[in-house]
Amino acid sequence: MTPPILLTLGILVISIVLFISERLRMDLIALLVLCALALAGLVTADEALSGFSSGAVVVMWTMFILSAGLSRTGVAGRMGRWVLRVGGRGPVRILLVLMLAAAALSSVMNNLGVVALLLPVALDVARRTRQSPSRLLIPLSYATLMGGLITLIGTPPNLIANDALQSAGYAPLGMLEFAPLGLTITAAGILYFLVLGRHLLPQRDPARDLDHHSRLEETAFSLDERLFVVKLPPGSPLAGKTLAESHLGSALGVNVVGILRHGDDVTLAPEPHLRIQPGDRLLVSGRQDRLNELKRGAQLQVEEPQYVTEHLTGGDVQLAEVAIAPRSPMLGQTLGDLNFRRRFGANVLAIWRDGKPNRTNLQSLPLHEGDILLVQSTTGRLEGMRHVPDFYVSEARSTQIYRLDERLMLVRVPEDSSLAGKTLAESRLADGFGFSALTILRGDQTLPMPAPSEVLQPGDRVVVEARPEDLDAFRGLQGLEVDTSAVPSFAEMQSDQVGLVPVVLSPQSRLNGKTLRQVHFREKYGLSVLAIWRAGRPYRFNLRDMEIRFGDALLIYGPRARLKVLSAEPDFLVLSEEIKDAPRETKAPLAAGILLGMVALVVLGVLPVALAALLAATLMVLTGCLTMDEAYRAIDWRSVFLVAAMLPLGIAMQKSGAADWLAAGLGQAIAALGLHGQLAALFLTTALASQFIPSAVLVLLMAPLALVSAAQFGLPPQALALLVAAAASCNFITPVSHPGNVLVMGPGGYRMRDYLKVGMPLTLLLAVVTVFMVVWLYS
């Protein structure tokens, strides 16, 4: 093994480990690989950058635009309506028509775009025919993966395998040369689902479990069971406050979905700024646990007003002033966005701005140039902040100018308080009621800056920063009474103006891993998240602090006009056809004509596929099928950079001899298996690796090895390119192997084992089909 081979394989192994571990973003890993290859001298500068001018990469990003054009003009939507019309009500016929439609569309559209487009259609079909969505959604996703193999432009693995052929000096495959194998694989896959696969699918309906649209059966998950009414007693401190000021949602972990006022007057999906009036009855979705707990005995008792700022320091804790440096990237961000306390270990007590102190809503106040933060922190943390270029740290001036006493109070934890024995985090004093605990006085001890894990004890006196109105809200919540009279059902809580829809994160969403509180969902959209379906079960409590992930299904309630606004957000995919904007159907003939024209130009040999696709994408914008902004938003730039930056690794494997070395080792390992066994081993190795490594990257790694091995197998290199592309597209065994699988996971209520149970037999079947087809076509 020569040093270049060793170096190339070292970079390859490290990149695979990084891809599997997901410690870094995939596109960032690819860029690191590109830089490593160039710095190690394994590729020239031109070769390192060649991926960005590769025809395969150009076709990739233009296909995103073409797919968006077909979707936005309603061409693809008409296919969905055809499914509804032709599919009838028989489950086998519906499954057949849905998979045929998905496969046909994915042969000329981006696979993920087809899943996103047909997902609402499939859910609508399931609801109308009263069958479980879980019987349709995995077949939908898998059909797009198989249908993408029918044409050259159907899926990135086809494009990259073809690019590898050209780079190695072999004749490339034409637009329709993938069709014999692709059509056979698709037919075999659909037949598998019709005969066996559909019986392996689970019978789950998260939509029914979450919102109880269907009355097929009563389930333990019905939202109606979580609906209850609370009423304001006479003289309640909550009267006159807005819903946001009442802390009802944050303190009790519930959603106010309606207000019953003056007898039969009902306000559905009330806005956060709506004021509560005396005598109101609030219709609430959630659990009563926290309200019952809040009402059991005095939670906190306010001590007599006294000067408490002296308790803010002590031991290693002191006050300091922190000025924000000019042009700091922190400017314009809030303390909440910066996660300031956790990141820097400091409480911000006030912000001095324009000659006066700001002491309220500090977590949501954007930082301005010239702001001075009064912070409470340890000596070590403050010393660390002095080395942060964004800060100028100095000793605090007299705290009297900040008038902290107007916002500080001393509260005591009574003996019978349910807060005794809970940590500060569990007490939700900060998140729920807006009380920031700064110091705990426990007997003769002073505990400044208590950690969230600090356990409250009976008799503790806590210095908290709070507004008098927050204290009023706290007392008002304690006085709420549960009304046991008749409670409306959720069916009655919907109207022409207010609705309930399921939503998932779009594949390009930036919100994965963030909480609803962090993204200010309620404030930004004016909608309520009533439940989240994850890994086969629904969650309805404390949703504000639950991280949302790809694959989650969110049940959202609110005004239909706001739901329509949400459907236009690139971070979300609304799973309801009636909410979406009307397509530009007058442009549908143009969009279809552009696509057919592109295919004709490539098939007739007038233009290479990259130029034909670029021309078609340009015409989509020029004819008004898409705007330029929509075209840019349609492109998944992460996928583009991933492939473009990884292409030089294939060049390095060929130049260094690593591909030859690996091919020789593979040939020795499987030499005794015979031609069919050798091809099956190559297929299954690639298919299993595709469950953990992105398919496009895997083809980049496997194609050079397969092309070198073609002579050993006695087959033309085109046959091996087809086999590797097909194997890399078999993302059937895990949900994380393809974004389309993740997209259907929440709406279908799937668990990890469902993909394994359905996908493993399908992978083995397609291995047999592919091997025999490749030998039959090319031997």
CA–CA dist 124, 404 (Å, integer): 57
Which of 580, 606, 442, 582 minimizes the C-alpha distance to 74?
582
Q: Is the pLDDT reported for residue 218 higher than 50?
A: no
Output the pLDDT for position 211.
Answer: 45
Q: Which two tokens stand for residue 746?
A: 């929440």
pLDDT for the residue 759? 94
Asked if 251 and 432 count as a contact pair (C-beta separation under 8 A), the reply is yes
Mean pLDDT of all residues belonging to the chain: 84
Query: Count of CB atoms within 10 A of residue 468's CB?
Result: 10
- For residue 83, the Cα-to-chain-centroid distance in whole angstroms is 28
Classify the phi-psi angles of 24: left when phi > 0, otherwise alpha if psi is within -120 to 50, otherwise beta.
Answer: beta
pLDDT at 486: 67
Of 153-167, 287-301, 632-646, 718-732, least confident by mean pLDDT is 287-301
Task: Report yes or no: 139 and 97 within 8 Å, Cβ to Cβ.
Answer: no
Residues paired with 266 in a beta bridge: 260
Residue 672: what pLDDT? 74
What is the pLDDT, as a whole number, of residue 724?
Answer: 94
| CATH class of the domain comprising 313-404 | alpha beta
How far, in Å, CA of 645 to CA of 289, rounded?
Answer: 53
Q: What is the pLDDT of residues 290-324, one digit of tens each?
A: 777 776 655 677 776 565 677 788 778 889 999 98
Q: At what angle do helices 752-778 and 674-689 cross, to 10 degrees?
A: 140
Per CATH, the homologous superfamily of domain 233-287 is Regulator of K+ conductance, C-terminal domain (3.30.70.1450)
Q: Quick check: 309 and 359 in contact, CB under 8 A?
A: no
**pLDDT at residue 758, rounded to an integer:** 95
Consecutive H or E run containing 650: helix 637-656
Indicate the fold that domain 492-579 takes in CATH.
Alpha-Beta Plaits (3.30.70)
Residue 213 is predicted with a pLDDT of 41
The tens digit of pLDDT for each residue in 602-634 reads 888 888 888 999 999 999 999 999 999 889 888
Q: What is the pLDDT of residues 420-431, one digit of tens each?
A: 888 988 887 777
What are residue 373's DSSP bridge partners? 322, 351
What is the CA 51 to chain-centroid distance, rounded? 28
| Domain residue limits, the chain | 3-20+655-778, 233-287, 313-404, 492-579
pLDDT at 214: 37
Specify the higher pLDDT residue, 565 or 360. Answer: 565
| Contact residues for 658 (Cβ-Cβ < 8 A; gap 6+) | 4, 5, 8, 9, 12, 652
DSSP symbols for 369-415: TT-EEEEEEEHHHHHHHHT-TTEEEEE---GGGGTGGGTEEEEE--T
Long-range CB pairs of 86-95, under 8 A, 24+ apart, other chains included:
87/125, 89/129, 91/129, 91/131, 91/135, 91/198, 92/194, 92/198, 94/125, 94/129, 94/131, 94/136, 95/135, 95/136, 95/139, 95/193, 95/194, 95/198
Report whether pLDDT(371) > 60. yes
How far apart CA 605 and CA 292 sit, in angstroms, is: 74
What would the DSSP string read from start to end of 101-122?
Answer: HHHHHHTTS-HHHHHHHHHHHH
| Cβ proximity of 110 and 597 under 8 Å | no
- Residue among 211, 243, 252, 253 at smallest CA distance from 544: 253
The pLDDT value recorded for residue 725 is 94
Q: Give dist(CA 682, CA 670) in Å, integer.
A: 9
Residue 138, pLDDT score: 94
Q: How far apart are CA 577 and CA 573, in angstroms?
A: 11
For 229-249, the three-class secondary structure string (H helix, E strand, C coil) is EEECCCCCCCCCCEHHHHCHH
pLDDT for residue 305: 57
Closest by alpha carbon to 523, among 280, 772, 244, 269? 244
In this chain, the answer to whether the domains covering 313-404 and 492-579 adopt an identical fold is yes
